[in-house]
Amino acid sequence: MNSPYVKVDGSKFLVNGNEIIFRGFGIGNWLNIEHFMIGLPGSESQLRRALEKAYGSKKASEFWEKYYNCYIKEADFQFLSEIGVNSIRISFNYRLFESDLQPYSYNPNGFNQIDRILKLCEKYKIYAILDLHAAPGGQNPDWHSDNAIGEALFWEHPDFQNRVIELWKYIAQHYCNNPWVAAYDLMNEPCYYEPRGEIVDEFYHNLVRNLRKVDKNHIFFIEGDFYGHFFTDFTPYEDPNIAYSFHFYPSIFGDYVEINPQLRFDKIQNAIFGDGEIDYVKNELQRPLWCGETGISLRRGNSKFHESVLRDTIAVFEKHGVSWSIWTFKDARSMGCLHPKTDSPWMKFSVSASGDWKFSEEFQKYLVSNEVLKNMNLTHLPNNLQRKLNFRLLANNQLVLCNRYKDTLNKIPVRELLTYPESFLFENCEQWHGIIDIVKTYTKS
């Protein structure tokens, strides 16, 4: 299979007849903003509205253009090339191309930033995987799908699903002949509060069937149901260029503090493969696998320990021939391999604007401990209804927090605000050397 495009060959990826294992980073918090990664509460659309109210739409657009252009530039690619990365996952928001007020009407300027990066991909021989991270209606109830209401309406309204099909066709028409686009990651972390694999599977098949009419060259990644975890309700594809993606964050799937290194490796391996979901892809669907997201938090403390857990996680992937992408390359001191200095203008702005908001505490309060539901005497509800109510409460809390931006932004001249994105320039960032060393273990061997 000698092709300049990356292709699926059984359980492997091939390019120009040679096997390739994707080893790289996600470029998160760039074309799709996440509150904990930018250091400001609120969904992307809420943050955009706050800036527009404070400075007007023209100046707000100027700010975001400056942000895009500072966030990732050629210096970042030089660094990625030096450490041996061969792939990046470019996450984007559907609003980059389409407005809810004018559905099915597409903005060609949405391609500008991706095109700029793809030229750098070609120059530095790094493949890009395009990831639809936020879909109309919300493919999950979380902040990272730019969901401001905590409702995964995407699965309830066929028009939202049709919009994604047409949007991908529009994007594929633009990139169908670009060999430095390795694949399309069709939808990030689908979830309707609980596993609903048959509904997700039906949508994926419809999307693949329509999209393949436009693009004959590229791989389509299918992410598992319930945040990229469940596959056994998925049915096979006749399309030969389909692969599967899952997400695995070791801190979510186990406590490894008291485990010696060998037992820890075994426990991580069991957390990934033990429930049979990944084996179903390998043995029944017989397609290659890519872990589209894994990573650790800068803010959890004891960084050396967490680095060792991530190192073991990547070692498990490598043992099983699974491609991987670390989340994320750069952000505002949350998970990023690169991050602005603590005393940078952006971080000072973030601390001032976010006040006492801490994502980890909010996440624990609303989505993990059920503290709020206990106080409301609602823990008798079925789990799916508890989960649904949790997300609604979380979304309402974000809305309230966003109302505080007016006072903060009124004190910042727009000329000063426009300098803040410079904190994300490569030369202004600190590096997380522990993660860099893990990556180089496998890209420089």
Which residues carry out catalysis? 189, 293
CA distance 109 to 83: 32
Residue 121, beta-bridge partner list: none
Parallel, antiparallel or unpaired: strands 242-247 and 289-294: parallel
Q: Read off the tokens for 2.
A: 């000698």
Which helix H or strand E contains 227, and what residues bound it?
A: helix 225-228
What are 192's strand-pairing partners? 194
272, 200, 199, 191: which is closest to 226 by C-alpha?
191
Please, are residues 329 and 26 in contact by the beta-carbon 8 Å criterion? yes
Question: For the chain, what's the residue count?
Answer: 445
Contact between 205 and 251 under an 8 Å Cβ cutoff? The reply is no
Among left, alpha and beta (phi > 0; psi -120 to 50; other), residue 211 is alpha
State the helix-helix crossing angle for 74-82 and 111-124, rounded to 10 degrees.
40
CA distance 320 to 8: 17
Q: From CA 385, how far away is CA 11, in angstroms rounded?
A: 39
* Distance (Å, whole) CA 7 – CA 13: 6
Helix (H, G, I), strand (E, B) or coil at 95: helix
> From CA 281, how far away is CA 288, in angstroms rounded?
8
- Per-residue CA distances from 40 to 43, 59, 143 (Å): 9, 19, 12
